[in-house]
Amino acid sequence: MSRTPQIPQRKLNSFETSRKKNIQLADTVTFEEGLVLHKNGNLAEAKTIYESILKVNPKQFHALHMLGAIAIQSNNFQAAIDLITLAIEANPNIADFYSNRGVAFQNINNYEKAIHDFDRAITIQPQYLDAHFNRGLALFHLHELTKSVESFDKAISINPQHALSYFNRGVALEGLNKILDATISYEKAISIKPDYWEAHFNLGHALQELKKPEEAIKHYNKVISLAPNFAEAFANRGLAFQELRRFEEAIASYDKAVDVNPNYVQAYSNRGNALQELSLFVDAINSYKKALSIDPLFIEAYSNMGTALHELSRFDDAIESYEKAITIKPDFAEAFYNLGRARKALNQFEESIVCFDKAINLKNNYDDAWCNKGVALHGLKRYKEAIRCYDKSIESNHNNSEAWSNKGATLAGLRQYEEAISHYEKALIIKPMAADIQVNLAHAYLNIYNFTLGWNKYEWRLESKKNKAVKLITSKPAWTGAKNHGKLFIWAEQGIGDQIMYSSIFKELQAFSQKKIVSLDRKLIPLYQRSFPQFIFYEKNKILDETEYEEHIPIASLGRLFRKNLYDFKNSEFPYLLDDKEKTKEFTTKYKKPGKITCGISWKSANPDVGEDKSIPLDQLYDILKLDLIDFINLQYQNGSFGLTDQEKIYGSNINSIDCIDIYNDIDSVASIISACDVIITCSNSTAHLAGALNKPTLLILPYASGRFWYWSEYEGRSLWYSSVKIFTQKNPLSWFEVIEEVKEYLLDKFIPKK
């Protein structure tokens, strides 16, 4: 099944904007001597003069006002309010009094009263620049952004060269999501004041919002040249580099940010995100740990560290990291989503569904959570429910290619191939270069015998992340099927079973004049040297020098050239693999008993993704294993270990193991054991391919959906690739009982002598 890519959920930092309030003092006062001292910064001396005036005349409003101004400059805002209020009471008709009291109210976050005072100042003096400007600031803090812009516009109309108004107007426009208008405002501020680094910084941020990271970087560089100790410029430049996928430069920029500010938590976290993009997951984890050492409650670092641990397949550690994030923020939808992904990776499908449901409840239209819930339900073989979840995902986000693809995979598993094709094609409209989806589409076409489209699409397998084979790097041309002189290199890919299957075409290759050089899994070479003595075989891990061949072809691409229609499959000659006759005779003499059928049996697949779906619990086969007239021979390898598990011994006591043979590595001897048997019963694994290639009667038991591979598409009840392989398919995804009864009846009918 096509699984949803596990994509990490990374919380990048908000772009910080520099928003400075410029407190404007009155331009005129009545007490000139105090004013001169005041303007020269001699606040203590000025204050002494103002206080001396008030001793003579306690209602001298100019002195009261200027003492209030000194209080503002000393950050004693309540005292300022009290003093200026006394000045207003003494003379309520001076605009400066209201304007500066408004500034004091603004600084204690009493924006309503500040606006009231600015309005009074404007009523007295309609062209009062500072009152309009500060009114705009107060309205901004009350989130009255449209009115804020209007106030800044009025200030600009009074003084078109007022850079501060253009700057703060840009901030308000960004708040209204009028990003393009904001950039124009910042640019105007910069044209008036070229070294206005705060405006350059905010313009960089706005340009990033407009998806113009290259231009943003230019302005961040300007900020850095003007304010080299402003860490946020380095951090935001790092984000811009990330958007351009220039991850090394992003990391260098984050490093500069933390050099300036060693406690810059967000920079460490974003640095970790960039390192993840370079697949440097251990380094990323260390960066997140540094962020958490500074701020142990920084949830994004826990969540992002979880994604890095997930990529390292450290799922238990990832779960612990996600759970810490959730402990701090119980409504953290992304953490629940990623926790579900980690549990799904451990095949804890029920637990993962609980996590996805929590994420869905916390975040409306969470398409990725719906999609992954579908994958988990597929893992539980609850296919109809999985499809409903994919539909929910698509409803939430029509452009979720994974949801379209995964629904296609589930439909294909249910053998609804035409519908599956439709869904894969929709996924590819969204993401045309998605190799995994292209390969799934190929499988669907091949299942309905559309070999032209199927084989062409199947070439994408070489670009797929799921393809474990190492792609051949060569300057030599790919073979197109022409009969040429020289040497043709056929190189191995995929697993042993696939190599055996495609080598059914080798006999047809004998009609071609080229010298055939073939790379294969090491374990197959003795068997193939006997079966195809005209070919030269190399171990697949050996690097073959280009001088050794003129053309090349990956082994699975032979299908595109030689299996273009159903009729072409009749060209296969069986057996095309030849057992060691002496060894087969030895096994026959030793293990075949008169009057009994010898049956080789294999029940497990070692496939890391769907092996569990393909494998049959041995207790489910017990009704077959207890048949009297059959001797069973163990063909089951255990991923490098041999023999039956303790649980299997209970039901497999009738299975004879040939202890002198290494079933996992000695495939040549396994071929002789198979040849010595009368019939083979197996699940979908390499035993099925080997038995088919040896033309041994084989009863292949396939799962209902997940784990049923495309190449086991049947034709008239038999494998298209192996005429001796009879296919039996699970009827119920949650039970093997019915299909095993069917195999048992067939076995009794075709192989057990009638009394």
Does position 222 have pLDDT exceeding 60, yes or no? yes
Q: What is the mean pLDDT of residues 483-510?
A: 93
Write out pLDDT tens, residues 8-50: 222 222 222 222 233 333 333 356 888 888 888 899 998 989 8
Structural domains in the chain, CATH included, are: 364-463 (1.25.40.10), 487-571 (3.40.50), 581-750 (3.40.50.2000)
SS (H, E, C) 250-278: HHHHHHHHHHHCCCCHHHHHHHHHHHHHC
Does position 81 have pLDDT exceeding 50, yes or no? yes
Does position 648 have pLDDT exceeding 80, yes or no? no
Cβ neighbours of residue 570 under 8 Å, at least 6 residues apart?
none
Residue-level pLDDT at 644 = 61
Q: Say which amino acid occupies 754.
A: K
Q: Is 525 helix (H, G, I), strand (E, B) or coil?
A: helix
* Backbone φ and ψ of 122, nearest 5°: -70, -35
Q: What is the mean pLDDT of residues 425-445?
A: 96
Q: Which of 50-59, 295-304, 712-721 has the highest mean pLDDT?
A: 295-304
Does position 464 have pLDDT exceeding 70, yes or no? yes
Distance CA 549, CA 488 (A): 6
**Residue 614 DSSP symbol:** H
Place of tokens 């992304």: 334
Distance CA 357, CA 373 (A): 8
Average pLDDT over the chain, rounded to whole?
90
Q: Residue 649: pLDDT band by 50, 70, 90 thresholds?
A: low
Distance CA 716, CA 328 (A): 60
Write out pLDDT tens, residues 663-682: 889 999 999 999 999 999 99
- Helices then strands (H, E): number in the chain? 37, 12
Write out pLDDT tens, residues 509-554: 998 989 999 999 999 999 999 999 999 999 998 989 999 999 999 9
Cβ–Cβ contacts within 10 Å for residue 34, how many? 25
Q: Is 408 helix (H, G, I), strand (E, B) or coil?
A: helix
Does position 625 have pLDDT exceeding 60, yes or no? yes
End-to-end Cα, the chain, rounded Å: 46
Q: Is the distance from CB of 738 to CB of 746 less than 8 angstroms?
A: no
Q: What is the mean pLDDT of residues 273-296?
A: 97
Handedness of CA 285, 289, 290, 296 (dihedral sign): positive
- The CA angle 224-229-230, to the nearest 5 degrees, is 70
Q: What is the mean pLDDT of residues 459-484?
A: 88
Cβ neighbours of residue 350 under 8 Å, at least 6 residues apart?
380
Q: Is 212 helix (H, G, I), strand (E, B) or coil?
A: coil
Q: Is the distance from CB of 274 to CB of 252 less than 8 angstroms?
A: no
Write out pLDDT tens, residues 363-385: 999 999 999 999 999 999 999 99
Residue-level pLDDT at 5 = 22
Does position 642 have pLDDT exceeding 50, yes or no? no
pTM of the predicted structure, to 2 decimals: 0.80
Residue-level pLDDT at 31 = 67
Place of tokens 């006394």: 86
Distance CA 186, CA 718 (A): 73
Residue % of the chain over a pLDDT of 90: 79
What angle do the packed helices 333-345 and 349-362 form, to 10 degrees?
Answer: 160
Find the length of the chain.
755
Q: Say which amino acid occupies 289.
A: K
H/E stretch holding 715: strand 714-715
What angle do the packed helices 401-413 and 383-396 form, to 10 degrees?
Answer: 160
More confident residue, 683 or 5: 683
Residue-level pLDDT at 645 = 65
Write out pLDDT tens, residues 161-207: 999 999 999 999 999 999 999 999 999 999 999 999 999 999 999 99
Distance CA 305, CA 459 (A): 36
H/E stretch holding 727: strand 725-729
